[in-house]
Chain A
Amino acid sequence: MQILKHTHFDFLRWRWHAIAASWIIIIVGLVTIVTKGIPRGVEFAGGTVVIEQFDQPISVQQVREALDRNYPAGGQNTVVQAYDDPSKRMVMIRVPQVGAESGASLSTTAQQVEQAIDKANLGGRHRQGAEIVSATVGRELESKGLWATALSLVGILAYLAFRFQFSFGVGAVVATIHDLLITFAFLAFFRYDMTLNVIAAILTMTGYSTNDTIVIFDRIRENLRSMRRDSMRDVINASINQTLSRTIITSGTALLTALALFFFGGEVLHGFAFTMVVGIITGTYSSVFIAAAIVSLWRGSAPTRAAAHAPASSSPTAPQQPQRRQKPQRKARAS
């Protein structure tokens, strides 16, 4: 069985469309982030989360009213949500406040919230879980997260520059930054809390997307040796086409597992799985349309360096020139 046989798509022809489309999503995402902010989970923002299980069935509305009346300090930022399956009668309450950072007073807010609920006579309840984080810890995590991301990008750039060429490293890193921005945009659109689990998913997806990119680059590297007389543009197109069915199958299976996590992974993995789904899609897209395009822009569409005598072709700023596109894909197979 073969889903795709000998495709000859001219991916580079669409690179400006792809770059434009990406920019639109990124800009809309950035606008959303600037205007509405990225919702940050308590581990980053600091605050108090309690998960209460009630003895009797109870509506989220009742809990919210109880808090509005008896714990008005949370104000607009109080979040009350049903947690997990409704039959478990669990409610998650989040307020931005947190007790003072001295001695054991960190949990005072949690107690105030519980007292507020108890005042409303909603029946018996017990605490199933709590997450109380001071602002200090949140700040530290945030800066650590940024450093981890930046350093891993530098690490990948260095590795690819060493194993391939510098332009390939740049392509992979730009594609990764692209994926990060798109994923952040989607997280901002869909208002997912930035939690540690989501950060893990984001860092995984950067690894995954690089993985995809490297497979294509690897083929480009191989084809550069066997297609010495062809332009960089042809080599890149041929390479993407040759690896296309692998790209689709791999992304498809990865997407299947991510979707399984999304639908069956339970409340805690929801944000994680959502990020993975977005990341897999954008990672695949960027490997095909962005990473290689960056390499071709960086290197120009000139013939590969081993074939300096071959005719020069289009300049990088006018990629749509069709002059050489009709040329048959020669030797698509490596030696």
Chain B
Amino acid sequence: MQNLRWKLLTIVVVFIAFASVGVYPLIAAWRGVHKPALLMDKQLKLGLDLKGGVHLVLRVNTDDALRIETETEMERLREELSKRGVMVTSLTSPDSTHFRVEGVSQAQDATFRQAVVDQNILTNFDRSSGTNGTYVLSMKPNVQVSLREEAVVQGRETIERRVNELGVTEPSIAQQGQSGDQILVQLPGVTDVDRAKEIIRSTGLLELKIVEQGPAATREALLQNGQVANGMEVVPGVSTPGDTAGTVFYLVRKVAAVTGKDLRNARQTVDENNQPAVGFTLTNDGAQRFGKVTGENVGRQLAIILDGRVQSAPRIESRISTDGRITGSFTQEEVQNLSLILRSGALPARMDYLEERTIGPSLGADSIRSGVMASVVGLLLVVSFMLVYYKLSGVNAIVALIFNLVILLGLMAYIGAVMTLPGIAGFVLTMGIGVDSNVLIFERIKEELAAQRGIRASINAGFGRVFWTLVDTHMAALISCAFLFQFGTGPIRGFAMTLVIGLVSNLFTSIFVSKTLFELALTRRQQVATLSI
């Protein structure tokens, strides 16, 4: 008796705990009754397919990150070589992971090698030498791997900041894909897909560079002997604000005065002609450098380059330190987006879209309705069958079933699992498995009863025999679930998750709860002659 009382207490406590986490918030939200904050935090979340929203998969062009690293190192070496007076015939980068030095003379070979060592280039690059003073520096494979990983992580973090600025509630941003270079972005409830897409993938690389020459109508006009002068680059841009058709070219210094990294803030403002513009404030460090550069170059043009295009090239009237303004032919919305992108920082690499799904809110609502409808119909069918076939013992099975669903809801809410459409299917399946466990037990009890055993002995034997069967079947299902979870993207994971929780809670309800209910029924009567099964 003492034993039974403890068992009942356990059952009641478990039931109340899970019901208050899983079921109460749902009912509270539905009926509009008081919601304690403690419980509402844990309310079951709906997946995109039920709530509506945007699901995007982006691929990070990690080669970009490698190329930037290679080119930066190459430029550093170029600077160092000219400082030491080492002459080379060419210094080029054929691809994102190599750069090539040609024509180092015999006499300067030692100086060249020393320059490479002093600049610490060999920490990230392997050097191999060829004939006639040719050297190839190739990025070490482990450096490539970590740079790629870094680019994806940085990209994810930047996207997170942008999504937060967009004000989406409960976004989900994760890395995925076989090579780990994909970023999954889920934005529940977002309807303006195009804006979200554009903001997420804009590189947002801002560079302010001093203009040496230009604007010119053709690229060729800015070249010397068909080559870009050392330390310079040619950047395209729009000819006049408002005219997007004509392209002009600027020769600018390769080294930027300041970049987006030096921004402290960016906001919407207007220019002197009352046109929308983006105002920015630099960090202390950036302001110092910017002040120096602008002070030295009063009267020259400053190119404002966004993602490799000159937006405008205003003349520097006086020394500028902390505050500046980006003007161009912007609409109000572009300015709004641009300031958001600048605030969140630049992406380390370009992004491509690989997958886009949008689910309208009404489609989601329809899915919930039919999913819940199907589950209820299924549940009713099963419940009526159990009652007809197993009579009073069927009640036992139904209590176990309801218990199972309550635990399922509670655990899902507690661990923050997301309810998806396949998740609802997982619920239905859990009901099926729950019923199966009870059927197994009941059929076994019937067999034992038919063998003329006593009722208590039959029940004990039924539960005892079936226990290992249940363990085996549940283990096998859990094994499949583990792989399903591994393989799955969003909704499928939801399904596997539901099923795993369902399997675990089902073991508890069918073995512990159901047995205790039988025991409870038996203690009422001293002499048990019949069992309604």
B431 touches A147 (CB 8 A): no
A215 touches B473 (CB 8 A): yes
Q: A129-B360, A253-B385, A264-B377 in contact; A101/B354 too (CB < 8 A)?
A: yes
A106 touches B356 (CB 8 A): yes
A253 touches B354 (CB 8 A): no
A250 touches B435 (CB 8 A): yes
Q: Is A161 an interface residue (CB 8 A)?
A: no
A131 touches B495 (CB 8 A): no
Bound complex: CA of A152 vs CA of B465, how far in Å?
Answer: 27
A137 touches B354 (CB 8 A): yes
Q: Mark A134-168, 1 if CB is under 8 A from B, else 0.
A: 10110011011101110110011001100100000
The total of chain B residues at the interface (CB under 8 A) is 81
**Residues of chain B within 8 A of A214, CB atoms compared:** 469, 472-473, 476
Q: Is A306 an interface residue (CB 8 A)?
A: no
A134 touches B354 (CB 8 A): yes
Q: Is A31 an interface residue (CB 8 A)?
A: no
Q: Mark B42-83, 1 if CB is under 8 A from A, else 0.
A: 000000010000000101000000000000000000000000
**A285 smallest CB distance to B (angstroms):** 17
Bound complex: CA of A105 vs CA of B350, how far in Å?
Answer: 13
Q: Is A55 an interface residue (CB 8 A)?
A: no
Q: A1-B389, A246-B440, A268-B367 in contact; A261/B355 too (CB < 8 A)?
A: no
Q: Mark B349-360, 1 if CB is under 8 A from A, else 0.
A: 011111111111
Bound complex: CA of A50 vs CA of B425, how far in Å?
Answer: 24
- B interface majority secondary structure: helix
Q: Is A203 an interface residue (CB 8 A)?
A: yes
Bound complex: CA of A1 vs CA of B389, how far in Å?
Answer: 6
Q: Is B198 an interface residue (CB 8 A)?
A: yes
The residue in chain B whose Cβ has the minimal distance to the Cβ of A128 is B360
**Residues of chain A within 8 A of B37, CB atoms compared:** none
Tell me the total A-B contact number using a CB cutoff of 8 A. 237
Bound complex: CA of A220 vs CA of B54, how far in Å?
Answer: 51
The residue in chain A whose Cβ has the minimal distance to the Cβ of B481 is A207
Cβ contacts A to B, 30 pairs, < 8 Å: A1-B388, A106-B352, A107-B353, A107-B356, A127-B360, A128-B360, A129-B359, A129-B360, A134-B354, A141-B489, A152-B482, A156-B476, A199-B492, A203-B484, A204-B499, A218-B468, A242-B447, A243-B443, A249-B439, A253-B386, A253-B436, A256-B382, A256-B385, A257-B381, A257-B431, A260-B428, A266-B366, A266-B371, A268-B367, A269-B370
Residues of B participating in the A interface, judged by any CB pair closer than 8 Å: 49, 57, 59, 177-178, 182, 197-198, 201, 350-360, 362-363, 366-367, 369-371, 373-375, 377-379, 381-382, 385-386, 388-391, 421-422, 425, 428-429, 431-433, 435-436, 439-440, 443, 446-447, 450-451, 465, 468-469, 472-473, 475-477, 479-484, 486-489, 491-492, 495-496, 499
Going nearest first, the 9 A-B pairs with the smallest beta carbon separation are A266-B370, A148-B487, A260-B378, A257-B378, A128-B360, A264-B374, A207-B480, A152-B483, A265-B374
